[in-house]
Amino acid sequence: MSDARRILALDTSTELMAVAVQGPDGTVRVEAERGLQHGAQLAPTIAAALAAASVGADELDLIVVGVGPGSFTGVRIGVATAKGLAAPRGVPVAGISSLDAIGRRYRYYPGLVVPTIDGRKQRVYSALYHAGERGGEYLDLAAAELIDAAGAAAAESTAGHAPLLCGPGARLVRTTTGESTSQWYCDESTSGSLIPIGELLELGVERGGAPAADVQPLYLRKSEAEIGIRS
């Protein structure tokens, strides 16, 4: 649960930018479809959210940022913005995986939770969660590979519930794998680009912040630019 401090949370790992500010009068959330134009829109969106929550940038006690995985450019913009706000003010930063925030949203589901983010090239970023806790590493897999991994993990569980497929990549996985996920639950309401910013904020409060310089993006593969340089 969040506390009474003044907190900024932001996530730009997907096409839908999400910002939340917790202030003395509650939490203000802003979600905006920007088509990955976060570089131009993030700063004014943060300023508007801070103003709406009656919180000044110099009053912040913690900044929480989604570190991905997701869009390389988007994640970089979000992390750089969080650091730029935090470093000169000495504000701690909590870097939280965007997948962890989705897993947190479904922490009360009794079976295996499989959050997904579209990784492009017919691949998805994912991880496997029970009661909001991640088991194992973050994954970068083709949809069929993810279904095999999740199916094996679910078979080892004694919960007796079908896996729950969710997150921005859920529809991609469902349409790609078809019959393989016909018996799964699929929350397609989360198949847009949104990362749950309220859960991201809660996780940041629980895990605590670190010096801004210590927070890094969560990349599960090399960017196209890096591949080009090395090839």
What is the three-class DSSP state of 126? strand
| Residue 178 confidence (pLDDT) | 80
State whether the Cα torsion 121-123-124-126 is positive or negative: negative
| Residue 228 confidence (pLDDT) | 47
| Residue 121 confidence (pLDDT) | 86
Length of the chain: 231
Q: List Cα–Cα distances, 19 to 29, 42, 173, 176, 201, in angstroms.
A: 6, 9, 27, 31, 10
| Residue 161 confidence (pLDDT) | 87
What is the tens place of the pLDDT at every residue in 88-146? Answer: 999 999 999 999 999 999 999 999 999 999 998 889 999 999 999 999 999 999 999 99
Q: Are 90 and 63 in contact (CB under 8 A)?
A: no
Q: How far apart are CA 43 and CA 195, in angstroms?
A: 18
Distance separating the N- and C-terminal Cα atoms of the chain: 47
| Residue 78 confidence (pLDDT) | 96
User: Residue 229: pLDDT above 50?
Assistant: no
User: Residue 194: pLDDT above 80?
Assistant: no
User: Residue 153: pLDDT above 70?
Assistant: yes
What is the tens place of the pLDDT at every residue in 42-84? Answer: 999 999 999 999 999 999 999 999 999 999 999 999 999 999 9
Output the average pLDDT for the chain. Answer: 88
Confidence of residue 231 (pLDDT cuts 50, 70, 90): very low
| Residue 223 confidence (pLDDT) | 59
In the chain, the amino acid numbered 159 is A
Q: List Cα–Cα distances, 182 to 147, 165, 176, in angstroms.
A: 11, 11, 12
State whether the Cα torsion 178-184-187-192 is positive or negative: negative
Q: List Cα–Cα distances, 142 to 3, 108, 204, in angstroms.
A: 39, 27, 30
Q: All domains of the chain, ordered by start, with CATH?
A: 7-98+194-230 (3.30.420.40), 108-190 (3.30.420)
DSSP of 93-112 = EEEE-HHHHHHHHTTT-SS-
Q: How far apart are CA 182 and CA 192, in angstroms?
A: 20
Q: List Cα–Cα distances, 124 to 32, 54, 114, 175, 224, in angstroms.
A: 23, 38, 11, 13, 16
